[in-house]
Chain A
Amino acid sequence: MTIRTFFKNVFFQEILKALKLTFKHSFVKEVTLQYPHQKLQLPDAHRGALGLLYYDDGVERCVGCDLCQAACPSHCIRVVSGEDQENGVLRRFATEFYIDMTKCVFCGFCVEACPVNALGMTKLYEYSTANKRSLIFDKPRLYEVGKNYYNDAKAYLVAHNQEKADESAEAWRYRFPSFTKQ
């Protein structure tokens, strides 16, 4: 044992080092948040829970094209499409829409694939539950998310250059022709 190590052991040098660090950090700006009393400001491009959106006139944007299902790498989306027979309008729409959030990897491919910007990613991340089954979002749930977090979804689309934030957005929102019944 050298003299140096002897002194180290006698005076508990490690503890002194730790105390020094602690003391120093009481003057540094804090980085953690007191969740759930405090919440983080998320960036617009944040990939949170998915939601389905309406057009401004209240019509469902989704046309049931199944492209999100095709793009999904984790096979968590299932779309059942059909013909809208009501209201005398002939258009394709999704009769059922499921996203299995337990499988979702939040890659955002489905949003990118959507030709009508019907899907958007919101800043919602607090949907933990005791019942795993409720994590399979169905069509009403997805539209509910989309409705409640419309601004988030829209900000996401703008951040990903899929939609414009201002008035010119109308031109970006492609709508497929729907025909009235003859």
Chain B
Amino acid sequence: MAKQQIISLDAPQKMFTVTVDGKQVTVAEGTPVFDAVKKTGVELPAMCYHYAFSPFGSCGICLVEVEGKSNNVRSCTAKVADGMVVRTNTDKMIEARKTAVEKWLIIHPLDCPVCDADGKCELQDLTYNLGVYDIKKGVKKQVPEDTRSLVLDFNMERCILCGQCINVCKEVQEIDALAFYKKDGLTHVGAHEGVPLHCEFCGDCLAVCPVGAITSRFSKYAYKPWQLKKTQTTCTYCSDGCAITLETEGSKVLRVTSKLSYLSKFGHDVERGDGHGGLCVRGRFGFQFIQSEKRLSRPLAKVDGQQIEIPWFKAIPQIARKLMQIKETYGGQAIAGLISGRCSNDEVYLFQKLMRATLGSNNVDTAARYGHMNSILAMQKGLGIGRSTTSYKQITLSDVILVVGSNVTETNPVFSLRIKEAKRKFGAKVIVIDPIQTNMMKLSTHPLQVAMGGETAMLQGLVKAVIAEGVAFSGFMEKYPKAYETLRQATGSLSEESITQACGIAWDKIKEAATLLAQSKRGTIIWGEGIVSLSNGQDNVFRLMDLAHLCGLLEKPGAGIHPVCEENNEQGAVDMGGVPEFLPGQVAYANGRERFEALWNTSLPNAVGLTLPEIIEKAHQGEIKALYIVGENPIETLPASMKVREAFAKIDFIICQDPFLTKTGQMADFVLPATTYAEKTGTVTNMAGEINPLAQAFDPKGESRTDFKIFCEITKQINGNAMQSVEAVMHEINQSVPGYFNGERPTINPEHLAHYFENGFAEDVIKRYQGTNTHPSSDVVNDGIFRLVLGQSIYHSGKLSTQDEGLMKIYNKPTLKISEADATKLDIKTGDWVRVATATPNGPLPLVAVEMQESLPKSSVELAIEIMSSLPKGMVWFPEHFTNLKDLMEVEVDPVTHVPYFKSGLVSIKKVPLFDLSVVSSHSCAINRGEAAQPQDMNSPSPSL
């Protein structure tokens, strides 16, 4: 396959004129004839073509006649020449195409009635459209179906060897898990060398397959495409906000598809940088939790310590009465609310309105508190807008991309494809800064694997290098000379050696990266949980913003900065006022109070609200009397050292609203069954600030109700008036946050910048660049003591996906990952068991007798271990979706932004002989004793990377 040509967005291109069927068309040099023909409005049939990757030329259907050439020309692989004369639909060409299709039909099993692709099959369509009726008798392949993979089945009888699956895997996903291989004289498609396929399971190969050669085990033989009801909605796993189509029969989701299919292969409405429309493993295969048996269908109320089912008409008045009682007795301050970042914008708006206007409490917080608030608060202070300043399309067309502390291929797989596309298609330079050698780092042009905790020093170094090299953006220096001078002086005190020592990267490389970013035309900075969920988070965001100013990323068109968040609507939840700091529209509470009092015709509480860590602290002190939890699960998310369980035990009245009965739900006085995203309408905001719709595919399961309806009914019970519909709330949001749904992007106000640089900027800058080595996680890690980092796995998202049967089938045996060097030192192999215990830099803490009571924090946990070569020495890694290890973590709460940092901590590791395993506790260790871990390296699913 020809290497894909890099499209230069800046250099001028040579133009050629081509005549197609008598029409003249002008195209750039290097364009395939196919694209030139497409420009005239003629659509050539083509089986192996897809706009997302480079032409392959295996099907031989897109044939054209070129004047001066005796043979038929495959238009997808042939490049245009100046003055070329092309004829497309001549009789000779149609006959040639018919022959090409017949060639496949001869060996095709023609088992359409039992094929999952029947009715949505390109081979069927072509046969019908070209009128191929006489098929000669031929020898069928007679190959048994390959069902060894967990998710995808390969039926080589139906395969037409178009190579689209291989190309999408290699070129778009850049995973390269699929290949052609020979077996018994026949060409097969599958994992390299015919081993069982184990990859990321993004399922894009399944989507592009024009026939039924690749099928999904999760929906095999269960449907015919024409029977399914299709609902366009938005995926609610990560913050990418991919558009998905739920294909349902009754109230059962049978499969999830996206735009990517053979029907979208010609890319009619796709502009440059629009993406390929595919999905990731969570979006495509994580749909079974919607019809999970474990879902709640009726409200539960605690009576004499037992949770029993009660009808809604009893639950709602009881809840309303109790909440009003608490409000009257203790005041609104005694009520607090937590809402998930997976609820829609309308629901968060309604929830915070219920808490603030009806219950008189400003104690409302969302999942953004776990990290994203660091980005939002820093950006609000520095720029006046708390969201990404760029868009997905601009990121794709960037020429330099800096990714800091974000394992973006795991956390946001579809978004990461844009960075890959920028590099592959448009020749962007990608700089990746991370202590772990992430997948993105392996693909990047400038990998900068810093020492553990070296991100801070690295960012200081980049800022210093931009100034020292004299490449800073002239616009910034002219407009804000004072701010530039402050930065120059502050970074001047840092020595190159100390930075190099702290981050472990040579100064030349830092200089190179800084120069690249500063001289970029459309540079983008992307940062994620590696910055904001670790201590010092907000300061590092400020450092990144300093860097963005110095490189002119906030002024150059097409450039920008982009924080990556975890849950799908974290950004929207903050925009809708789901945090105590902000009212809807990210208006500071003190500034917007009067306007919202007028709008809601009520009085709002004076006091500044409590954030999540404060709510837990106040609950400990007995000052919180009622807690309303929507979709959140603090007991399973926060470490035991935060004593959430004890704090919640002191709260008189807890309402938990969730589709599932969580650990938090088991403590609640009322558990209200909520619906999943498939059963509600509304909107969600992705991390780039785009508003995406949620559409209802079927009625809520059992008696469960949407969060929206529950909020409405409680409000109605309390004060008699409530919103009637989602549209009414959207109308109100339009009034309170003008332009939110119109896709208006806020721009940076120069006055705000001037004000920011004048007031307190100098002092902050001096503090930010005082010394290197300020990151507490860079403390010395000695023998047997490791830094444990909790991170996200590609197969899961938060705790929600652990309820999904399909995703749990793919990945349910979490293992502790350790670097190769450390494993050799400790004499550990993949599959061995280790005892992990909390430690301090000086040594392990004394082991307390482990009791089999879940309420007690565990001081040690036994786990299977797995070697992962991408980890640095001294670091161990564990997926945060499983609760095995989180109780070993210490919590540090940020003094400014109140973000609880608990994703990194010190542990001691000791090998445990298999026969000596003492504890395999019920829920925390899902791994069966002695069973070897599956080869599921989170970072290297393919051998070639």
Contacts and interface: CB of A to CB of B under 8 A. Distances in A.
Interface in B216-247: 220-224, 226-227
Interface stretch (A21-29, A52-60, A64-72, A146-154): A64-72
A65 B145 contact: no
Interface string B131-152: 0000000000010111110000
Interface string A158-182: 0000000000000000001101111
A67 B399 CA distance: 52
Contacts of B43: none
A182 B147 contact: yes
Nearest to A94: B221
Contacts of A65: 113-114, 118, 224
Given A70-B226, A91-B114, A116-B113, A64 B145 contact: no
B227 A83 contact: no
B109 interface: yes
B365 interface: no
Nearest to B224: A66
Query: Chain B binding site: helix, strand, loop or mixed by DSSP?
Result: loop
Contacts of B144: 179-180, 182
**Interface size for chain A: under 10, 10 to 19, 20 to 34, or 35 or more residues?**
20 to 34
A105 to B, nearest CB: 21
B157 interface: yes
Contacts of A69: 227
A66 B114 contact: no
A119 interface: no
Contacts of B226: 70
Q: Lowest 9 CB-CB distances: which A-B pairs, in order? A: A65-B113, A92-B221, A92-B114, A115-B113, A83-B221, A179-B144, A66-B224, A179-B145, A176-B114
A177 B109 contact: yes
A88 to B, nearest CB: 11
24 contacts: A63-B113, A64-B114, A64-B221, A65-B113, A65-B114, A66-B224, A67-B113, A70-B226, A81-B221, A81-B222, A81-B223, A82-B222, A83-B222, A92-B114, A92-B221, A115-B112, A176-B111, A176-B114, A177-B111, A179-B144, A179-B145, A180-B144, A181-B147, A182-B144
A90 interface: yes
B10 to A, nearest CB: 53
B928 to A, nearest CB: 23
Contact of A83 (B146, B148, B157, B220): B220
Contacts of A67: 113
Nearest to B111: A176
Chain A CB count within 10 A is highest, among B118, B148, B224, for B224
A57 B120 CA distance: 33
Given A82-B222, A83-B221, A176-B111, 15 more contacts: A64-B114, A83-B220, A83-B222, A90-B145, A90-B147, A91-B114, A92-B114, A116-B113, A177-B142, A177-B157, A179-B145, A180-B144, A182-B146, A182-B147, A182-B148
A176 B111 CA distance: 6
A90 B145 CA distance: 9
Listed residue (B113, B144, B145, B157) with the most chain A CB atoms within 10 angstroms of its CB: B113
A64 B118 CA distance: 13
B205 to A, nearest CB: 20
Contacts of A66: 224, 227
Given A90-B147, A179-B144, A181-B147, A63 B114 contact: yes
Contacts of A82: 221-222
Contacts of B223: 81
Nearest to B217: A83
B786 to A, nearest CB: 41
Contacts of A83: 220-222
Contacts of A92: 114, 221
A65 B227 CA distance: 11
A66 B111 CA distance: 13
Nearest to A93: B221
Interface string A111-138: 0000110000000000000000000000
B145 to A, nearest CB: 5
Contacts of B114: 63-65, 91-92, 176
Interface string A74-113: 0000000111000000111000000000000000000000
Contacts of A91: 114
Nearest to B146: A182
B805 to A, nearest CB: 16
Contacts of A177: 109, 111, 142, 157
A180 to B, nearest CB: 7
A50 B112 CA distance: 24
A144 B939 CA distance: 56
B723 to A, nearest CB: 39
Contacts of B112: 115
Nearest to B155: A179
Interface in B79-118: 109, 111-114, 118
B251 to A, nearest CB: 14
B128 to A, nearest CB: 16
Nearest to A116: B113
A177 to B, nearest CB: 7
A115 B113 CA distance: 7
A180 B111 CA distance: 17
Nearest to B118: A65
Contacts of A90: 145, 147
A115 B111 CA distance: 10
Nearest to A64: B221
Most chain A CB neighbours (cut-off 10 Å) among B114, B145, B223: B114
A182 B144 CA distance: 9
Contacts of A180: 144
A111 to B, nearest CB: 14
Contacts of B145: 90, 179
Nearest to A65: B113
Contacts of A63: 113-114
A114 to B, nearest CB: 9
A136 B142 CA distance: 40
Contacts of B220: 83
A49 B289 CA distance: 41
A82 B111 CA distance: 16
A178 to B, nearest CB: 9
B636 to A, nearest CB: 34
A83 B217 CA distance: 10
Nearest to B140: A177
Nearest to A63: B114
Contacts of A182: 144, 146-148
Interface in A34-62: none
A182 B221 CA distance: 18
A70 B228 CA distance: 12
Nearest to B153: A90
A91 B221 CA distance: 9
Contacts of A181: 147
B122 to A, nearest CB: 19
A23 to B, nearest CB: 62
B140 to A, nearest CB: 8
B135 to A, nearest CB: 15
Nearest to B226: A70
Nearest to B223: A81
A70 B114 CA distance: 14
A84 B226 CA distance: 22
Nearest to B143: A179
Interface string B870-909: 0000000000000000000000000000000000000000
A63 B115 CA distance: 10
A63 B112 CA distance: 11
Contacts of A64: 114, 221
Contacts of B221: 64, 81-83, 92
Nearest to A178: B114
Contacts of A176: 111, 113-114
A52 to B, nearest CB: 15
Name the residue in B109, B118, B144 with the highest tally of chain A Cβ atoms < 10 Å from its Cβ. Answer: B144
Contacts of A115: 112-113
A182 B190 CA distance: 16
